[in-house]
Amino acid sequence: MPYAMKLDLRMVLALLCAAGLAPLVAGASEEPGAAGEAAPLALTPTEYNNTVADLLGFPRNGERWPKRPSVADRISPRRTASKGVFSPPPPPDPWPWPFPAEPGADGFEGIAQGQSPSSYQVEELHLAGMHFGAFALLSPTFFDCPGWSDLPSAEREACAATSILRFGERAYRRPLRDGERGRIKAFWQAQLAAEPIDEAVALTVAGILQAPAFHFKLEPDPTEFDAWQLATRLSYFLWDSMPDEELFRAAGSGELASTEGIERQARRMLDDPKARPAVVHFHHQWLGTDQVLLIAPARRAFGPRFGVPRVLRNTRDDDTKWPAILGPIRHSMRLETELFVEEAIFDRAGTFTELMTGNHGYMSRGTAPIYGATTTEDEGRAAVTRQIEYVSVSVGRKRPLTLDPVVLDPTQRAGVLTLPSVLAIGAYAVQPGPIPRGVRILERVACMEMGDPIEGVESALPPDALGVESTNRERTAAATKPSECNSCHRRINPAGFAFEHYDAMGAWRAEDNGQPVDASGSLRLPGAEELTFADGVEFAHKLAASRRVRDCYALHWTRYALGSHLERNAPGLEPIQKRFRENDSVKELMVSIATSDLFRARSAGVGSEGGP
C-alpha cells in the first residue's frame, strides 16, 4: 500500500498541531516492506546548513547566531587552530558548517549521480550534528515551554521530551512513525539517565541530525509521493531548505494532492525571500560562477589597469598590492552576478530573455576599471553593500563592499553571459579563453555533450603570453585546425570567438594585439538552428531566443528539481519545455516543474540520449 494512503485523520490533526507548538500525537505504522522508500538523495552542504538554521530558528547568517554553547565543547570539543601564522586565525562561525563540496553531477550538487559519501564527509556530518545539537539549547524555537532552563526538574524533563519529539518531526519532515517515536524516546531516556539534562538534549538532537530520515530525502517507490515527501521536494527545490509550517500544513491537510494546491504553494514560496538565494544558487552552478573567487589574472597583463606596475619595482616589494586588489574584484564579480540574476528574475521582467540580454549591472570601485567609461549610473536602483572576507598579506580581512547599480552599454553587454564573472572564469591568466568559453556555451547553455578533450591536448593550445604576433582568435584557430580537433572545434570555436571582445578580466576591447576584434561567427545547433552573429551581444540575443537553449535551461532546472540526471527526451519533459518556450518566464518554469507529473513521481530519468 502506498504510504500516501496512510494519511489518516490522526496525521492531519497532528500536522495541524505541528503548525503550532504541540507535538504530534501519533504517527504512521512502520511496516517492513510497505511501500518502499527509495532514491535516497542526501542533503547537500547548502541544504544542510539552511535546514539546521531553519530548524533551530536562527538566521542564515553566522554572525547573528549566539556563541557556541559550552555544552558543545563538552560533548564534542572542536579542535582549535594553533595561534596562527602572522595573526590569530579567525574563530569559526557557529554557522554554516564548512562541509567539503559535493562532487556534483551535470555541474550541480544535489544530483543522485554526483553524491558519494566519503569517510571525511561522514565525520564532518557527525561533528556538525554534535555542534548544532548543542545549539538546540539556545534555539528560540526548540523548546515547547518558555523558560525551560528555570523549570523544576520534572517539568524540564517533560518539556524536553515533547520538544525533542516535535523537533524530530520537523527534522524528518513528516510525522514520526511509531517505531521512530519509540526509538527517539528510548535514545533520549538513555542519554538522560547517563548525562546532565542539557547534554542529554544536545546528544539526542545530535543523533536525530545524523539519522537517515534527516540526512536523506527519502522518497517512495514506485509511482507517487506522499504529501510529506512532495513538500520536502518542493521546499528543497525552491528554497534549498526544509518546508515551513505553512507547507507542512498543506501537506497534512491534503492540499498537495491537487495540482492547484501545489501551484498555490509554489507561487507562495517563490514570493518568499528564501527563494531568491536558492534561485541564485542554481545559476552559480549552471554557469560555474562561484569559481570566480579563484580567478588569477596576471599582474603582468592587467596590473597597469589598476595602477600596479607590470613588474615588481624592487626586491622588497612582496607583491602584495596585486593580491590586495584582486580580492575585492573577485567578490565584486560574484556579488554582481548574484544581484544581476536575482533582479532579472524577481524584480524585472522575470524572463529568460531578461536573464540573457539585460544590461543592468553592478559596479564596485574594484571593477570600475573593467567596465570603463561606457557605463552610466542608474539612480533608480539602490547601491548594495555587503561584508566580504578575503586574505591579504596572510591576514583575513573583513571589509564592506559596495556595488553601485549601473546601466551597461547595450552595444557591449547583453545579459549574464557578458558579465565579467562569466567571462573571467573562461580565461587564462593573460589571454581570454575562447575554448573554455565556447565549451561552457555548448555544454551548459545548449546542452551539447562535448566529451573529454584529447589526452595531452594542452600542449597544442596557443601560448598564454603577452607580446604575441597575431590575434587570440587567429592563434586559437590555428591550434585547433587539425582534423582530429575540428569535429568538436567547428562548434566550440565560434561559440567562444563570439566573446573575443572581452579580455581575460571581462573588459570590453575593440582591438586585440592592434587588430580589430573579429567576434563574428555562425553556430549550428542540433535541431537545425543556425545562429549567425556579429559579436557577443548579438549572440546572446540569439541564444536567448533559441529553442534549443530554452529547452536546455528547462532541462537543467528539471534535473535540479528532481535531483536526477533526467535524459533530454524523458517523457513528461516536453510539456514543461513547451510552456517555457512560449511564456519565457523563469518563475513560471519553476511552477510548471513543481506541478508536473515528473515532479510528483519518484521515477524519473527515463529516456535516452541521442545526438550531440
Single residue of 6, 10, 60, 74 touching other proteins by CB under 8 A: 74
Contacts of 273 (CB under 8 A, 6+ apart): none
Contacts of 227 (CB under 8 A, 6+ apart): 4, 7, 250, 251, 252, 254, 255, 256, 257
d(CA 483, CA 487) in angstroms, rounded, equals: 7
263 binds other proteins (CB under 8 A): no
89 contacts 79 by C-beta, under 8 angstroms: no
400 binds other proteins (CB under 8 A): no
20 contacts 144 by C-beta, under 8 angstroms: no
Minimum distance of other proteins from residue 553's CB (angstroms)? 28
How many amino acids of this chain bind other proteins (CB under 8 A)? 98
For other proteins, which stretch binds (CB under 8 A), given 50-58, 176-184, 264-272, 572-580? 176-184
> Considering only residues 284-303, where is the footprint of other proteins by CB under 8 A?
293-294, 296-300
469 binds other proteins (CB under 8 A): no
Helix (H, G, I), strand (E, B) or coil at 522: strand
Minimum distance of other proteins from residue 215's CB (angstroms)? 8
- Give the burial class of 323: count Cβ atoms within 10 A of its Cβ; 0-12 exposed, 13-18 middle, 19 or more buried: middle
166 contacts 197 by C-beta, under 8 angstroms: no
63 binds other proteins (CB under 8 A): no
1 binds other proteins (CB under 8 A): no
305 binds other proteins (CB under 8 A): no
Minimum distance of other proteins from residue 287's CB (angstroms)? 17
Which residue number, 5 or 190, has a Cβ lying nearer to other proteins? Answer: 190
Task: Please provide the size of the chain in residues.
Answer: 612
Which residue number, 176 or 552, has a Cβ lying nearer to other proteins? Answer: 176
327 binds other proteins (CB under 8 A): yes
Which residue number, 22 or 324, has a Cβ lying nearer to other proteins? Answer: 324
What are the φ/ψ torsions at residue 174 (nearest 5 degrees)?
-170, 170
Which residue number, 300 or 541, has a Cβ lying nearer to other proteins? Answer: 300
Name 206's bridge partners.
Answer: none
What are the φ/ψ torsions at residue 481 (nearest 5 degrees)?
-70, -35
> Considering only residues 410-439, where is the footprint of other proteins by CB under 8 A?
428-430
- Single out the residue of 56, 87, 93, 153 nearest to residue 396, CA to CA: 87
Single residue of 249, 330, 440, 489 touching other proteins by CB under 8 A: 330
> Considering only residues 219-258, where is the footprint of other proteins by CB under 8 A?
221
513 binds other proteins (CB under 8 A): no
Q: Is 386 left (phi over 0), alpha (psi -120 to 50) or beta?
A: beta
d(CA 144, CA 542) in angstroms, rounded, equals: 57
Minimum distance of other proteins from residue 348's CB (angstroms)? 28
Single residue of 57, 59, 66, 89 touching other proteins by CB under 8 A: 89
Which residue number, 213 or 477, has a Cβ lying nearer to other proteins? Answer: 213
What are the φ/ψ torsions at residue 240 (nearest 5 degrees)?
55, 35
Single residue of 59, 147, 372, 396 touching other proteins by CB under 8 A: 396
Q: Is the dihedral of CA 534, 540, 545, 548 positive or negative?
A: positive
Tell me the Cα Rg of the chain: 27
319 binds other proteins (CB under 8 A): yes
Minimum distance of other proteins from residue 443's CB (angstroms)? 19
Single residue of 206, 256, 257, 498 touching other proteins by CB under 8 A: 206
Single residue of 129, 366, 432, 496 touching other proteins by CB under 8 A: 129
Which residue number, 397 or 547, has a Cβ lying nearer to other proteins? Answer: 397
For other proteins, which stretch binds (CB under 8 A), given 137-145, 203-211, 249-257, 357-365? 203-211
40 binds other proteins (CB under 8 A): yes
What are the φ/ψ torsions at residue 55 (nearest 5 degrees)?
-60, -40
d(CA 295, CA 283) in angstroms, rounded, equals: 18
207 binds other proteins (CB under 8 A): yes
120 binds other proteins (CB under 8 A): yes
* Local structure of residue 533 (DSSP, 8 states): E
Which residue number, 325 or 519, has a Cβ lying nearer to other proteins? Answer: 325
139 contacts 147 by C-beta, under 8 angstroms: no
Please tell me the chain's helix, strand, coil percentages from 3-state DSSP, rounded to the nearest 5: 50, 10, 40
For other proteins, which stretch binds (CB under 8 A), given 241-249, 366-374, 384-392, 526-534? 384-392
389 binds other proteins (CB under 8 A): yes
d(CA 365, CA 402) in angstroms, rounded, equals: 8
